[in-house]
Amino acid sequence: MIHQFFSTLRNISLTISVLLLFLTSCNEDILEEKPLDFFSPENAFLTEEGVVQGITAIHERVRDAYYSFTKFGTMNWRAHGSDLGYVGESPLRTPNYINSYKDISPTRRYVVDTWNTGYQIIQMANVLIDKIQDLDAAVFENGEDGKNLYLGEARFFRAWQYRYLVSTYGDIPLLTEPVESAKADFVRDPVSAVHAQMEQDFEFAAEHLPNPGEEAAPGRITKGPAMHYLGEVYLEQGKAQEAVAVLTKVVDNFDYALMTDRFGNLLGNDVFGSGDAFFDLFGFENHNLPENTEDMWVIQVEPLIQGGGQISSAYIFGPRYFDLGLTPDGYESILGVKFDGRYTGYSDTLSRGTANVRGTSLVYYTIWQGDWDTDIRNAEHNIKRNYYYDNPESAYDGQKIDLSAYNPPRPNLLQDTTKILYPMHTKFLDPLNYFLQPNRAGGGITHKDWYALRFAETLLLRAEAFLGVGDPESAAADVNRVRNRAEATPVSVADIDIDYILDERARELYGEEWRLVTLRRVGKLLERTLKYNDNPANPGAGMEPHNVLWPIPQEQIDLNVDAEFAQNPGY
């Protein structure tokens, strides 16, 4: 029943439905619902158990969006349209993702879905906040502290949603109360007002959420993430000193630490023949282990718990190696694993990728120069660069695939390097542990939890804050804590700048951080996309200055008939 209730809530968003507009003209008495035998905000949040259900529903909705292809937290936006990646499967044109900013428009699905999903979750948070505030503290086992804990978690999610929306669209409606009826007079509040509200929400959350390790269940929000994002919004507002102060509390006051020793469930069973602590961070069932001192907020998706799910990480980030075709001597290149007596053509370590996100040369080559053989994050078990023929009938069986060995040359070398073969970050794989689609070695579907926030990101964010207060020595020290774990050459104070930190984020957080948000925050999205997005069909992703912000969905403008709702310039 609670699931049905929140399914209904999902349809209440800033985008106004024609049906609601029609209903508002009817007699209000007729429309007044008196819920008796179904869940509604009026009767679902009257107890602490009901409030927990509401919090759980927000987590579920965030998880659903986090792993989607098009909604606000899609895996693709961690690379697409930035310095980090493009669609390798179809580098020329694709309607659903940003290969070229020339294709972006107010009616694109990802533009509309990002807006709607963000405001749907804000609506869920606002409904829950409103109802919790009305409850007597005696309803909660821990009284006022218990009440504020749930308020803090709901306010965290509201601010976290605004973080992405305000970065993506600029001035947007700032809603802090539930939208309870049709409304067609929204206005765009300034970015400064949204940031101020985010600051208040994250401050409240940081004060009232539990300390790390004291949360009610894995994945629940604690003070650590709230303080991290508070530091980030301080930086957005030019408050670098405040950012240093709050991020230092995260670093010094809790038991977070970078993992330096091997741990977890892969010990003694390294699929790629070797491993390290960085590799172990992404092992199945390793994210929530008590000994993992690096996790700060983990999206729960593993299937062996109630409500577990799946993520298409190998599908999104993996190359289409199975499309290679024949060996140079004319045999099938990849036989793969057997299922139902037949070879599938798919590897049980690589599963089935689609080249939906193909990294740039920056990701695979440029940032590793100088530490190619020493930085553990570039080791073969962390970035797979070598692929091998798999067919005993061929003289090439077991040999490394070498495209230059073909005579005559292969007909489409561009496709070979953007779609079929390119380096693969193994953090997106789950070798020998694919549960679904045995005829396709899992179909690219994995079931590992995913880091929404790791301690390494807090260190790199504090380094950025130290630069903001003119303290490059401390900035270099924080970056070097990350680099020392990676056994990489320490950066000198003379070389530390924001571009170095952005490169380090790519080395450490590729596929984890929301790159568009990061680059907009530091004012580098346009510059670095033009410089490093080397999509051979759309260099620089065809980006122009106005593309830093996405367009407002046209349906929002069209339905907002009672107030002016301007489009972003250039669209």
Residue pLDDT tens, the chain, 571 long: 333 333 333 333 344 332 233 223 333 443 444 544 545 666 678 899 999 999 999 999 998 887 765 555 556 678 899 999 999 998 887 777 888 999 999 999 889 999 999 999 999 999 999 999 999 999 999 999 999 999 999 999 999 999 999 999 999 999 999 999 899 999 999 999 999 999 999 999 999 999 999 999 999 999 999 999 999 999 999 999 999 999 999 999 999 999 999 999 889 889 999 999 999 999 999 999 999 999 999 999 888 766 677 888 999 999 999 999 999 999 999 999 999 999 999 999 999 999 999 999 999 999 999 999 999 999 999 999 999 999 999 999 999 999 999 999 999 888 999 999 999 999 999 999 998 999 999 999 899 999 999 999 999 999 999 999 999 999 999 999 999 999 999 999 999 999 999 999 999 999 999 999 999 999 999 999 999 999 999 999 999 999 999 999 999 999 999 999 999 999 9
* Burial class of residue 561 (count of CB atoms within 10 Å of its CB; 0-12, 13-18, 19+): exposed
Residue 192, pLDDT score: 98
- Average per-residue pLDDT for the chain: 90
Residue 41, pLDDT score: 61
Residue 19, pLDDT score: 27
Cα separation, 229 vs 250, in Å, equals: 11
**Long-range contacts for 538-546 (Cβ within 8 Å, ≥24 apart)?**
538/86, 538/91, 538/92, 538/99, 538/100, 541/81, 541/82, 541/86, 541/98, 541/99, 541/100, 541/101, 542/100, 542/101, 542/102, 543/81, 543/101, 544/101, 544/570, 545/570, 546/570, 546/571
Q: Which amino acid is it at 365?
A: Y
Task: Confirm if 121 and 65 have CB atoms less than 8 A apart.
Answer: yes
Placement of tokens 């102060």 in the chain: 245
Cα separation, 221 vs 232, in Å, equals: 17
Distant-in-sequence, close-in-space partners of 251: CB < 8 Å, separation ≥ 6: 458, 459, 462
CATH code for residues 2-209: 1.25.40.890
Tens-place pLDDT, residues 58-93: 999 998 887 765 555 556 678 899 999 999 998 887
Residue 42, pLDDT score: 67
Placement of tokens 């994002």 in the chain: 229
What residue segments make up the domains of the chain, in order of their start? 2-209, 259-292+301-448
Residue 502, pLDDT score: 98
Tens-place pLDDT, residues 18-58: 223 322 333 344 344 454 454 566 667 889 999 999 999 99
Residue 147, pLDDT score: 97
Residue 68, pLDDT score: 66
Residue 30, pLDDT score: 38
Distant-in-sequence, close-in-space partners of 509: CB < 8 Å, separation ≥ 6: 454, 456, 457, 460
